[in-house]
Amino acid sequence: MDFQFLGLDPLAPTMERFDDQSAGGAFCQQLLLLGAKWWESEAGYSIVLDFEQRRAGNWMVDGAFAISKQPPPTMREKRIIKAGWPSTGGVWISEFDTTWAGVDEEENLLEGGELARLRLARTMDERCAMLRDRFRGVFHTI
């Protein structure tokens, strides 16, 4: 369903960079509309990348996994945001906290794997219904 929103063939998505920088920027804007993560700094992204590589079993990554040496995450880096664009207009938004560097909102955490259910939506309208009914989504008119 995200492929459809992005105008991509789900069975053969484009795997190359855009030749035109403005087309690439427009595609990135579409990703942000779906809730893609925005990193304020390379340092914040590198913490997650290092963690992901270690979780995958690659313990020989460069650098030390030292969160204390990095600046604290911004709220934008810390949040998980999911969006749905209903066919009737507007947007449904659900926001969640992540446990990062011991700073979290206990009342706004997701149960493990719960967000993966959102991937089961077959249409954008179905995704919107899930955001509304299961993930405390808030509707905004545009």
Instruction: Read off the pTM.
Output: 0.65
Residue closest to 78 by CA, chosen among 49, 103, 52, 98: 98
- Beta-carbon contacts of 5 under 8 Å, excluding residues fewer than 6 positions away, are 30, 33, 34, 85, 124
Q: What is the pLDDT of residue 65?
A: 47
Digits of tens for pLDDT over the chain (142 positions)? 688 888 888 888 878 888 899 988 888 888 888 877 777 777 666 666 666 666 666 555 455 444 556 666 677 777 788 899 999 999 999 988 776 544 455 555 555 567 788 888 888 999 999 999 998 899 999 8
